[in-house]
A and B are shown apart, each in its own frame.
Chain A
């Protein structure tokens, strides 16, 4: 029964991702001035979205951990941070692919770029602080760090924004200025990426739970 449910989940995920690739590749029109390289934008935005989402999850789990001290909550935070760092890496890698032909540079110190990079550093530090999460104090420290780091994100953004900005603004106060088919493609890829996030988080969590169980069993065997 459990296996069946997992298979269905996997099937839905596959359909979503394949459909997403079709929508991005065939359905969405090719941008008039930027050409085909603009299509990287769908992956770029969706990865950034997952990176942010994962960071919010880490923040909420950190508060919850300090409050309730549940190991489960900490495992969710760890899984989220690990997936977050992967997707933030995707954002940082897909950005330059687009930026080089369009901006004529691989990297600039734009606030969004700077913030994303700092976010990546903080994720890495968070995971290093967890250090496998075996010791109770490491989990506690990581939770404290997760909260401080989250509060730090807007500070990084605004300090970098006052300094300089050239990033294109897709979502402004007047709404999104995109072709409707491009909008569909963007939504589709955000949905597909979110499903991927949920799936990866579930997989990672089950591994963490198994590891915990092995540790407990081993301890019981020794004593």
Chain B
């Protein structure tokens, strides 16, 4: 078991190091995110919608779209260098690769979310008073993990196909429950309402747990042969 965790750690830090070396890709993702946030909040400004209420929706739509860029990179890089087989040979267990990649994607998404959130906050002109910080942090962390887990699983498939544009079609229907739950969580956090929040917290936890454990069985079949 110790070796298992150590392997995850090694691959995780290796992936992060790669990400830092090719930082321009992450930066272009951030620019894309800021632009998406700008365009959406601007579009809402042009209508009569109360922009202080749109923050959770815009935040998660942005993170969801950006997540596609983030997770797609993680396996595409290995594919380019024909490194998947070598990695699997070195690691032995296929699920190690899943957890390491998912954790790396999770870290990237979390950093992305932390950068995007203040920008959106300023654009939407939301009051900071009465914000439930714990709930906000929770939704950001668990939301990113759920996205990373589902995305990593699916991108491992699409990267092996000639037409890898399938990823968003596969990914978004599976993410709908998570999307509903994290948007509700973030909304309640901003409003500072704790009533009803616990149910959503449980829901996100169950979703994340399920999609963290399913690959333990199913990832084996994704990286076969």
A binds B: yes
Q: Which residues of A contact B203 (CB under 8 A)?
A: 158-159, 162
Q: Which residues of B contact A149 (CB under 8 A)?
A: 173-174
Q: A148-B214, A162-B200 are in contact. List 7 more A-B contacts (CB 8 A).
A: A122-B173, A129-B166, A137-B224, A140-B222, A143-B221, A158-B203, A159-B176
Distance in angstroms between the alpha carbons of A186 and B200 in the assembled complex: 37
Distance in angstroms between the alpha carbons of A9 and B184 in the assembled complex: 51
Distance in angstroms between the alpha carbons of A148 and B176 in the assembled complex: 13
What's the nearest-Cβ distance from chain A to residue B82, in Å?
16
**Which of B172, B184, B221 has the largest number of chain A CB atoms within 10 A?**
B221
**Which of B177, B207, B218, B222 has the largest number of chain A CB atoms within 10 A?**
B177
On chain A, the number of residues with a Cβ less than 8 Å from chain B's Cβ atoms is 30
Q: Which residues of B contact A52 (CB under 8 A)?
A: none
Interface residues of B in 197-225 (CB under 8 A from A): 199-200, 203, 206-207, 210-211, 214, 218, 221-222, 224-225
Distance in angstroms between the alpha carbons of A148 and B210 in the assembled complex: 10
On chain B, the number of residues with a Cβ less than 8 Å from chain A's Cβ atoms is 30
Residue from the list A141, A152, A162 in contact with B174, Cβ < 8 A: A152
| B166 near A128: Cβ-Cβ < 8 Å | yes
Residue from the list A121, A143, A147, A152 in contact with B177, Cβ < 8 A: A152
User: Assuming the A-B contacts A118-B176, A152-B177, are A144 and B207 also in contact, with contact meaning beta carbons closer than 8 angstroms in the complex?
Assistant: no
Q: Report 26 cross-chain contacts, Cβ distance below 8 Å, ordered by A residue.
A: A118-B173, A118-B176, A124-B169, A125-B173, A129-B157, A129-B170, A131-B161, A137-B161, A137-B224, A137-B225, A140-B221, A140-B224, A144-B157, A145-B170, A148-B153, A148-B214, A152-B173, A152-B174, A152-B176, A155-B207, A155-B210, A159-B180, A159-B181, A162-B200, A162-B203, A163-B184
Question: For chains A and B in complex, what number of residue pairs have CB atoms within 8 angstroms?
Answer: 76
B160 within 8 A of A: yes
Q: Which residues of A contact B161 (CB under 8 A)?
A: 131, 137-138, 141
| B170 near A125: Cβ-Cβ < 8 Å | yes
A34 within 8 A of B: no
| A163 near B218: Cβ-Cβ < 8 Å | no
**Which of B166, B169, B174, B218 has the largest number of chain A CB atoms within 10 A?**
B174
Distance in angstroms between the alpha carbons of A16 and B222 in the assembled complex: 43
A66 within 8 A of B: yes
Residue in chain A with minimal CB distance to B196: A162
Chain A proximity mask over B149-180: 1 for CB below 8 Å, otherwise 0: 00001100100110100100110111011001
Nearest 4 Cβ contacts at the A-B interface: A155-B177, A121-B173, A159-B177, A141-B157
Q: Which residues of B contact A140 (CB under 8 A)?
A: 221-222, 224
Distance in angstroms between the alpha carbons of A54 and B224 in the assembled complex: 27
Interface residues of A in 155-182 (CB under 8 A from B): 155-156, 158-160, 162-163
